[in-house]
Copies of this chain bind each other. A is one copy, B any other.
Amino acid sequence: MVIAEKALIAQIRRLARSTKNPAVVTGIGDDCAILRLTRGRGEEKDTLITTDFSLEGIHFRREWHSPESVGHRCLARGLSDIAAMGGDPVAAFLSLALPRDLTRSWVDRFARSLINLAERYGVTLAGGDTAESPNGILADIVVVGTAPKGKAVLRSRARPGDLIYVSGELGGSAAAVWNMQKGMRKKPNRRPNARDYTRHFFPEPRIELGHILRKKVLASAMIDSSDGLSTDLAHLCEESGVGAEIESNLIPRARIGKPAQDVDLQFALHGGEDYELLFTAQRAKRIPSRIAGIPITRIGRITRGTKILLTRPDGSRNELQPRGWDHFRK
């Protein structure tokens, strides 16, 4: 352990003290954190655990993303996975490897932003690891949550005939990256304005929405849209052993830029990192057009078989291939 690491641990520990989820019995400072996940209620609970990398050059670029954005997005990725199960987040664990030349100010701004988001959701930063990085900033976030026993919303319970819904709007994050790349080519030294692309730089995890969908037993299956609609819907269908039909003109496309305009359909179909919720519901369920303030849009239905078909306004129908999301590969 180098001195910088010690300072970092002390700093994070100090910041982390501000949020204390009652389920965290022992946080940073022992070999393991101790969580008491059944505390207080009596209701039996399942434990939800998810881990997500945030690697410089892959998931973010230091010249585009402020330390605040990197810290926020790092935790938001994990919270979004908890939301996709309809869970309640409890604690986070941050493994952070830093290059020697990183300024203390960068780390401080990163940590404050991450902990600020944690506070808003009652999540305690309960542990992690630190190391010197051989190259670039490396973060891995673990988020732990709970759901009532047997009630977490899985990817694998979609059935033929279920309708497919998505929250918010899609493609905004990928289109923002595209715009930034274009902008950088023209003006290499211009840092993109985070306020123009809030959902990219500061995505809001859909915790409350996921919670309501689970609690009211509205969703039969659910996943978060982190890799792009075509990929995430393919995951859900594969796990459920079903196919799907979606209609291109129903997909809610993000509006970005000034003046704001709809993003291209390709971004909405394949662009990742929107952190919206993609879910299915039995046809008989009444799904409100807005839940917890977030618009909910029906985009298609689950079918027998395994193919995912996209219908266009002209009536043509093509198989939709999952196209992965490349993040910020240089």
The reply on A138 being an interface residue by CB < 8 A is yes
Which residues on B sit within 8 Å (CB–CB) of A50?
31-33, 127
Q: How many copies does the complex hold?
A: 2
Contact in complex: A31, B81 (CB < 8 Å): yes
CA distance A223 to B31 in the complex (A): 6
Given contacts A1-B227, A37-B47, A38-B44, contact A32 B81 (CB under 8 A): yes
With known contacts A58-B131, A135-B134, A138-B138, A152–B32 Cβ distance under 8 A = yes
Chain A contributes a number of interface residues (CB within 8 A of B) equal to: 68
**Residues on the B chain within 8 Å of A156, using CB:** 29-30
Q: Contacts A32-B152, A46-B25, A131-B59 known; A140 to B37 CB distance under 8 Å? A: no
Q: Tell me if A149 is interfacial: C-beta within 8 Å of chain B.
A: yes
Q: Is the beta-carbon distance between A142 and B51 smaller than 8 angstroms?
A: yes
For residue A183, CB closer than 8 A to chain B, the reply is no
Given A53-B129, A136-B135, verify A34-B142 contact (CB < 8 Å): no
Judged by a CB distance under 8 angstroms, whether A133 is at the interface is yes
A-B CB proximity, top 5 nearest: A135-B135, A31-B84, A57-B134, A32-B48, A140-B140
12 extra interface residue pairs, beta carbon distance < 8 Å, beyond A1-B231, A58-B134, A129-B140: A1-B227, A25-B46, A32-B145, A32-B152, A37-B37, A49-B91, A55-B131, A55-B133, A55-B138, A56-B134, A58-B133, A135-B135
